[in-house]
Amino acid sequence: MNIAIIGAGVSGLLTALELVERGCTVTIFDQQRTGSAASWAGGGILSPMYPWRYPNEVNALARYGKQSYQKWNEKLKPMTGIDFEIHETGMLIFDEDDFEIGLDYARLHQDPMQQADYLQSEQIEQINPHISARFAHGIYFSQLANIRNPRLLQSLTAYLQQHPKVQIYEHCPIRQLNRSDNRIQSITTADGKQHTADQFVIATGAWSAAWSEQLDIEIPVQPVQGQMLLFKTPQNWLPTMCMNKVMYLIPRQDGHVVCGSSMRQCGFDTQTTDATLRHIQESCFDMVPELANFPIVKSWAGLRPSSPEGIPYIGQMPNFDNLWANFGHFRNGLCMGPASAQLLAELMTGETPSFNADNYSPTRLFQDALLSVE
């Protein structure tokens, strides 16, 4: 089976990986460089932030992120020489309003990865001595990890580029889906060339609404900007991830610390703003005051693909025999990515799905459209 995937972020690349494992031939198209948009820009926490604030459908996919990336890293690293750098740091959360529900979450949802312990200041200091003394207590999720998403994307790209069943076209926007009745016959790229395939996958993240007119269905996915800061500290200086009031610090193994993040609806603007970066910086210094002693080496903004409730669209597009979706993951595309790609590959190849496919079916697009009219 020949499959064309439009979009080379983490969703498109992982989908390609799952499909070539099943013997399919895959062609990947991206309007930019592979893995250079939201997938690169995120923090890489392998769990939703405050999972109890998200629908069960999000957490059902996200809980497999860590173990899936561990498996793929073991397979790809010997061939690419690139380590995903899955960093087992745990997460300290200081939002007091979330303590009770956070401590109960693992038991209520049978999710051992979200096991949390209540800590007072002396215990916090033992786990992370850099936390501000003003935090008298917190909850600690010892099983949570982060992945260095730029390295993940580099490894996925390197593996797929050398794969005999994969061809990648970068800087190659798709201008037209050429349809005949309920089938896509081919796609036309910006240079006027046509590419045929047996099946087509849309994995275009924040840009997915652009297909609404051609497919004659409203796709409620919009970009939501998030801005980030990067500090450089000594190696292994910050021992845990930290979070308070939706702001987080994510330590990398080499001493870089990723700090974020903001939420702003401003279209496809990826410019950072001084006020937002200052707010992120102040929030992070509030948790870890000593961070102010270290240099900021970079700042950037990415575009999350928001969707109603953050539940992605995964599966066959309504009214099409050979068009499939894997988009709309909002803030959790990285941790939902492996399970999303596995589910889509299972559906495309006729396997029994590992997850409740109805929860993610793109037929919801019609339901969402009806709700918006009402």
Residues 65 and 338 sit within 8 Å (Cβ to Cβ): yes
Domain around 30:
2-50+150-221+308-373
Q: Tell me: the pLDDT tens digits for 101-111?
A: 999 999 999 99
State the average pLDDT for the chain: 95
Q: Would you say residue 22 has pLDDT above 80?
A: yes
Domain membership of residue 63 (yes or no) is no
Residue that has been written with the tokens 């950072």 in this structure: 272
Of the candidates 235, 284, 282, 236, the one whose C-alpha atom is nearest the C-alpha of residue 258 is 284
Q: What's the rounded mean pLDDT across residues 221-247? A: 97
Distance separating alpha carbons of residues 294 and 238, to the nearest angstrom? 12
Percent of all residues in the chain with a pLDDT value above 70, rounded to a whole number: 98
Token pair, residue 357, equals: 């496919």
Per the DSSP assignment, residues forming a β-bridge with 62 are: none
Q: What's the rounded mean pLDDT across residues 109-129? A: 97
* Residue type for position 79: M
Domain membership of residue 33 (yes or no) is yes
The reported pLDDT for the residue numbered 366 is 77
Q: What's the rounded mean pLDDT across residues 200-218? A: 96
Q: Would you say residue 239 has pLDDT above 70?
A: yes
Are 322 and 301 in the same domain? no
Distance separating alpha carbons of residues 186 and 2, to the nearest angstrom? 12
Are 292 and 313 in the same domain? no
Domain membership of residue 81 (yes or no) is no
Distance separating alpha carbons of residues 257 and 165, to the nearest angstrom? 37
The reported pLDDT for the residue numbered 340 is 98
pTM > 0.75: yes
Are 323 and 186 in the same domain? yes
Q: What's the rounded mean pLDDT across residues 344-363? A: 97
Q: Would you say residue 58 has pLDDT above 60?
A: yes
Residue that has been written with the tokens 């803030």 in this structure: 331
Q: Would you say residue 367 has pLDDT above 90?
A: no
From residue 356, give the alpha-carbon distance in Å to each of 193, 352, 359.
38, 10, 6
Q: How many domains does the chain have?
A: 2
The reported pLDDT for the residue numbered 170 is 96
CA angle, corner 268, sides to 324 and 157, nearest 5? Answer: 55
Residue that has been written with the tokens 């599966």 in this structure: 315
**Number of Cβ atoms within 10 Å of the Cβ of 234:** 9
Are 234 and 292 in the same domain? yes
Q: What is the CATH number of the domain that holds 273?
A: 3.30.9.10
Q: Tell me: the pLDDT tens digits for 24-49?
A: 999 999 999 998 777 888 899 999 99
Domain membership of residue 77 (yes or no) is no
Q: Would you say residue 373 has pLDDT above 60?
A: no
Are 238 and 298 in the same domain? yes
Q: Which of 272, 306, 340 is the last residue of a domain?
A: 306
Distance separating alpha carbons of residues 208 and 170, to the nearest angstrom? 18
Domain membership of residue 56 (yes or no) is no
The reported pLDDT for the residue numbered 41 is 86
Distance separating alpha carbons of residues 5 and 349, to the nearest angstrom? 15
Are 254 and 363 in the same domain? no
Q: Which of 254, 279, 306 is the last residue of a domain?
A: 306
Domain membership of residue 320 (yes or no) is yes
Q: Would you say residue 369 has pLDDT above 60?
A: no
Domain membership of residue 348 (yes or no) is yes
Q: Which of 254, 281, 306 is the last residue of a domain?
A: 306
The reported pLDDT for the residue numbered 370 is 43
Q: What is the CATH number of the domain that holds 8?
A: 3.50.50.60
The reported pLDDT for the residue numbered 374 is 41
Q: What's the maximum distance between 2 C-alpha atoms anywhere in the chain?
A: 67
Q: Tell me: the pLDDT tens digits for 169-185?
A: 999 999 999 999 999 99
Quickly state the pLDDT bin for 372 (edges 50, 70, 90). very low
Helix %, strand %, coil % for the chain, to 5? 40, 25, 35
Q: What's the rounded mean pLDDT across residues 273-284? A: 97
Domain membership of residue 130 (yes or no) is yes
Are 287 and 252 in the same domain? yes
The reported pLDDT for the residue numbered 368 is 56
Quickly state the pLDDT bin for 286 (edges 50, 70, 90). very high
The reported pLDDT for the residue numbered 112 is 94
Residues 2 and 24 sit within 8 Å (Cβ to Cβ): yes
